[in-house]
Structure 1
Amino acid sequence: MRKSGYQPLGKYIEQVNVRNRDLTVTNLMGVSIEKRFIPSIANTIGTDLSPYKIVKPGQFAYGPVTSRNGDKITIALYNGNEDCIISQAYEAFRIKDTTQLLPEYLMMWAKRPEFDRYARYMSHGSVRELFSWEEMCNVMLPVPPIEEQRRIVSEYQTVERRIANNEALIQKLEETAQAIYHHTFVEGIDEENLPEGWRKGCLEEVTICFDSKRKPVAGYDRTGKKSIYPYYGATSIMDYVDDYIFDGEYILMGEDGSVVTEDGKPYLQYVRGKIWVNNHAHILQGKGLYNNNILYWSLNNTIIQNYITGAVQLKLNQQNMNSIPVIIPDENTLIKIQKILNPITDYIYCLNKDIGLLKKLLSLLTSKLS
């Protein structure tokens, strides 16, 4: 990081160590590896919050411990409307003069993968590796004129707003699709007295399972220029590789590890294109008129808790998965619901694809800072 024209970060920042002595602040927050302030889920009943540090809007916090953090440093800029408190284990700091260095510009620098790698490399300790305050101050970064910083930040935030708008629209579309499915398949439906042409069945009757096509990813390059195919796990993309197993549209359903949500429903991913899937997800397609869209929203409304095995390592084996009950409507109902759900699902897919491209653009913008 020590390049010509770079400045030490310590020139621009100073520690903040204001404690919550009078207990006036109750908004307890933490910092995630996604580099955001998030509401704390810690049980604070009976906890003395007076030693906790107060963070004001526009200030930063970071977790010095990096050894068990997914090779990332937890650092974030607080953008809340009121003061919050954080654990005394965090370091809090602020920028001395925002006419010299914008907080948002510094946060862009902190979001770079290179910054995470640098923080891990410079962390020291025997039991826990720490990225100390001294090391934070030694970070070297380019500090262009403030007008140039504003321009860079403006470009970055424009893309961030586009992503946020897409995510909000996706949420509304998913709620709409969920309501349509619920109205058609759940409301007013008596499972013991189904409409004419409807029947009870099991998941095996309406799906094709491709689990037998899975194979280990070992030996495939994950770093080269051809590493363009998503490598999916139970809940998300894990990496990119230079080959693929599946090509089409699939529903991925968590098999072990992350199998069931807090409300007892399965972890699902609707994926399209050329992909690789590891052994932690079942690979399914809808069968016949019970297409992928109906299958996806059906599983989204299904409680699978009773089909999970294992105490320490949760698992939904294929036999149990196949036996999950489903309601199978008549053909006319399936065709009708397809016409409604298909365009909604297609639009959600396009928005997610747009988000993926926008995130790549964010990465490109931050890479140009160096």
Structure 2
Amino acid sequence: MESKWDVYKLNQLVSIVRGASPRPIREYITTDVDGVNWIKIGDVKPDSKYITETKEKITIEGAKKSRFVKKGDFILSNSMSFGRPYIMEIEGCIHDGWLLLSDFTKNLNKDYLYNILSDKIVQEQFISAASGGTSVDNLNIDKVAYTQIPLPPLDIQQKIVAEIEVLEAKEKRAREEVEGLKLKTKEIFESINSLNKVSLEDISENLDNLRKPVTKGYREKGEIPYYGASGIIDYVSNYILDDFVLLVSEDGANLKARTSPIAFTVNGKIWVNNHAHILKFRDKATHKLVEIYLNKTDISEYITGQAQPKLNQQNLNAIKIPLPPLAKQQKIVSQIEKIEAQIALLEGQIGVIPQEKEAVLRAYL
């Protein structure tokens, strides 16, 4: 590793030990208020820096067979989503899926350590060490111990931390603004939910009869987007439709997971397979209102199948949509589009924060 500062192995700066689990664990889980916090991977959010609570506790006897961690200690996941550091804001016990970092050397700022452990400088070392030729990627004490850390003087560490904290405050404000804007969107829909609802088939024309699935090996390459349940999956040389339409997922896990939109607007020449419904509306405001409504509303009552969720045409047509007069539709769509533009801008700012943090570290190290 190249750095203008001395580089140390991590075990020269902190003590590293593995967690331990009393077994069988179910015999040590307790609801007693005097139980000891039992820290599991599921207790932490991906973007969290601190661990502040746990869902379960273990008995005092169980704690004697585990590894106790104190407030201010670091824990590091050593399997699954390995290498992610967290700072303890509570006391508790950790199982053997965690490593404990404690007894920090005096010339090490804890917040600097957190940032350097989270950065590519260290994460890439973790990835390389974890792969290790086995079928399951994991980190053990030895692999983590030999991780290299550049260590500038304490005053430089503090400057790094201060600049990163400015970025974190900016990110926090942006996330709060996003949540506030999403709440506004929710309130807009709640304001029309009391209106009389109409079936989707009464306000749209279903064009599913135009769909044509083509096996990948028989598709002729081109520049026309070929759509499936969740968006573009290929490009072909011909089209089945040249129009402004709304595509709605017919099947797939995303109908329940909702990690991406289930309804999306397409405009122009397209080819659509049999995994997405095609809807056409008379008014663009109605089109957009339906798109937003489907993406923000729980429609699980219309979905069949557990292992293979499906929204068939009959159920799609039956979905009830609150539909105010056209003028109000246009006003609502305008409001929501402005909100979505603001959210996109804020999420863009949030998205570059990791690169900005990385740039701070690179500038000093």
Fold-level similarity (TM above 0.5): yes
Aligned match for 1:340, one of 335, 343, 357:
335
Q: Distance in 1 between matches of 2:60 and 2:230?
A: 36
Moved more, 117-126 or 319-328: 319-328
Secondary structure at 2:126's aligned position in 1? helix
Conserved 8 A contact 1:28-1:39? no
Conserved 8 A contact 1:203-1:324? no
- 2:114 is equivalent to residue 113 of structure 1: no
Secondary structure at 2:204's aligned position in 1? helix
Q: Name structure 1 gaps, 5 residues minimum.
A: 192-198, 217-232, 236-247, 273-278
Aligned match for 1:25, one of 21, 27, 36:
36
Instruction: State the TM-score, normalized to the length of structure 2.
Output: 0.67
Q: Taking structure 1 as reference, are residues 328 and 76 closer, same or farther at Cα in structure 2, changes over 3 Å only?
A: same
1:62 maps to 76
Aligned match for 1:268, one of 257, 261, 265:
261
- Paired AA for residue 98 in structure 2: Y
Instruction: State the TM-score, normalized to the length of structure 1.
Output: 0.66
- Paired AA for residue 364 in structure 1: A
Shift of 1:13: 0.4
Aligned match for 1:314, one of 303, 309, 312:
309
Conserved 8 A contact 2:263-2:295? no
RMSD: 4.7
Conserved 8 A contact 1:54-1:83? yes
2:84 maps to 75
Write out per-residue CA displacement over residues 137-161 of structure 1, whole angstroms, 9 at most, x where no aligned residue. Answer: 1111110001101111111121112
| 1:96-245 pair list within 5 angstroms | 96-97=104-105, 99-123=106-130, 124=132, 126=134, 128-183=136-191, 185-187=192-194, 189-191=195-197, 199-202=198-201, 205=204
Write out per-residue CA displacement over residues 112-149 of structure 1, whole angstroms, 9 at most, x where no aligned residue. Answer: 23533322322347564432112211111110001101
Write out per-residue CA displacement over residues 188-209 of structure 1, whole angstroms, 9 at most, x where no aligned residue. Answer: x344xxxxxxx44349828999
Conserved 8 A contact 1:109-1:115? yes
Secondary structure at 2:160's aligned position in 1? helix
Q: Taking structure 1 as reference, are residues 47 and 95 closer, same or farther at Cα in structure 2, changes over 3 Å only?
A: closer
Write out per-residue CA displacement over residues 206-265 of structure 1, whole angstroms, 9 at most, x where no aligned residue. Answer: 8999x999999xxxxxxxxxxxxxxxx969xxxxxxxxxxxx9x999795233325xxx7
Q: Name structure 2 gaps, 5 residues minimum.
A: 23-27, 217-228, 232-243, 266-272
Q: Distance in 1 between matches of 2:205 and 2:99?
A: 53
Write out per-residue CA displacement over residues 55-109 of structure 1, whole angstroms, 9 at most, x where no aligned residue. Answer: 33321112222xxx3xx524223153x3244324311111423x41112212222
- Paired AA for residue 113 in structure 1: K
- Paired AA for residue 8 in structure 2: Q
Q: Distance in 2 between matches of 1:213 and 1:362?
A: 46
Aligned residues: 317
Q: Taking structure 1 as reference, are residues 85 and 111 closer, same or farther at Cα in structure 2, changes over 3 Å only?
A: same
- Paired AA for residue 347 in structure 1: Q
Q: Taking structure 1 as reference, are residues 28 and 134 closer, same or farther at Cα in structure 2, changes over 3 Å only?
A: closer
Q: Distance in 2 between matches of 1:215 and 1:368?
A: 51
Conserved 8 A contact 1:60-1:75? no
Aligned match for 1:356, one of 347, 351, 359:
351
- Paired AA for residue 125 in structure 2: Y
Shift of 1:331: 1.0
Conserved 8 A contact 2:122-2:149? no
Q: Distance in 1 between matches of 2:14 and 2:276?
A: 45
1:6 maps to 7
Conserved 8 A contact 2:247-2:276? no
Q: Taking structure 1 as reference, are residues 16 and 139 closer, same or farther at Cα in structure 2, changes over 3 Å only?
A: closer
Secondary structure at 2:351's aligned position in 1? helix
Moved more, 111-120 or 315-324: 315-324
Q: Taking structure 1 as reference, are residues 351 and 145 closer, same or farther at Cα in structure 2, changes over 3 Å only?
A: same
Shift of 1:162: 0.9
